[in-house]
């Protein structure tokens, strides 16, 4: 049997996460990337190494008719002085290689340390692809962006990597809608390598993918052999898979795609 790669020798940024990866326990049991699933992640700052846990991320996928699915995103992170940013999104996507969304809604707000929403920090927008354009509506005005030939939203990539080949393939070229509505062309998503690592006292194979491009910090995604994303990391923060959340804290139901 091939020995696990020494954690300190793993490529950037996985080596930085070594103290955290040693405690990450890959879930047992089957995982169907094209089915219904829920995954919970801790959000960690990458400042000064694999720093403290600063928030939580919850994803929920609901399969729809044909190749459609809905993706629910709930992101909660401490930003400053105990205040938190809360982002929720609902995306309706195609089960293609980029999890291309056809319509989506998102809400962002700041919440103070006592849990009360901070005035004038609420941002709500919806987007729909119509007539070859992406129409973005903030409730006061609408604007339209040309639909790129290939595009996706950054959060949707966490679903897309579950279904990518677990072997080398031609890098996917696309335009990223960063923060749901900021067009950033010149992106690529590709397969880096397969590495055997020590996770929670076990030896596991990690399938590693890279996302790089103009105007973004590179991201690295690591999936288990079934496609389940165990981690995603950039130069700024990382998401590490955690045990399923308490039922009372699970994301709201996902609309049918």
Complete domains list, the chain, with CATH: 19-249 (2.50.20)
Within a 13 Å sphere around the CA of 218, how many CA atoms are in the beta-carbon half? 11
Which SS3 state, helix, strand or coil, does residue 107 take?
strand
What is the structure's pLDDT at 21?
A: 77
Q: Can you give the pLDDT at residue 8?
A: 38
Q: Residue 198 has what pLDDT?
A: 79
* Token pair belonging to 202: 């076990």
User: pLDDT per position in the chain (257 positions), as tens?
Assistant: 455 444 435 667 777 777 787 778 888 889 999 999 999 999 998 876 667 899 999 999 999 988 899 999 999 999 888 899 999 999 999 999 999 999 999 999 999 998 999 999 999 999 999 888 999 999 899 999 999 999 999 999 999 999 999 999 999 999 999 888 889 999 999 999 998 887 877 888 899 999 999 999 999 999 999 999 999 998 788 999 998 655 554 444 444 44
Rounded to whole angstroms, the maximal C-alpha distance in the chain is 61
Q: Are 183 and 161 in contact (CB under 8 A)?
A: no
Tell me how far apart the alpha carbons of residues 5 and 14 are, in angstroms, rounded to a whole number: 11
Residue 11 pLDDT: 64
- Separation between Cα atoms, residue 148 and residue 257, nearest integer Å: 22
User: Can you give the pLDDT at residue 50?
Assistant: 62
């Amino acid at each position: 049997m091939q020995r696990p790669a020494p954690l300190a020798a793993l490529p950037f940024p996985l080596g930085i996460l070594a103290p955290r990866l040693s405690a990450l326990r890959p879930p047992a049991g089957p995982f169907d990337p094209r089915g219904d699933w829920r995954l919970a992640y801790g959000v960690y700052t990458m400042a000064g190494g694999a720093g403290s846990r600063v928030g939580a991320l919850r994803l929920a996928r609901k399969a729809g008719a044909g190749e459609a699915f809905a993706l629910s995103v709930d992101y909660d992170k401490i930003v400053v002085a105990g205040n938190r940013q809360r982002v929720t999104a609902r995306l309706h996507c195609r089960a293609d290689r980029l999890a291309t969304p056809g319509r989506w809604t998102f809400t962002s707000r700041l919440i103070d340390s006592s849990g009360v929403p901070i005035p004038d920090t609420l941002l709500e927008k919806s987007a729909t692809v119509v007539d070859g354009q992406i129409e973005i509506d903030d409730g006061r005005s609408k604007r339209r962006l040309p639909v790129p030939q290939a595009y996706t939203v950054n959060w949707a990539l966490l679903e897309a990597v579950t279904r990518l080949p677990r072997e080398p393939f031609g890098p996917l070229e696309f335009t990223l809608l960063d923060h749901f509505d900021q067009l950033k062309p010149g992106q690529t998503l590709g397969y880096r390598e397969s590495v055997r690592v020590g996770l929670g006292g076990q030896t596991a194979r990690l399938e590693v993918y890279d996302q790089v491009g103009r105007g973004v910090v590179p991201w690295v995604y690591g999936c288990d052999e079934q496609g389940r994303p165990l981690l995603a990391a950039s130069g700024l923060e990382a998401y590490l898979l955690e045990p399923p959340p308490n039922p009372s804290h699970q994301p709201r139901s996902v609309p049918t795609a």
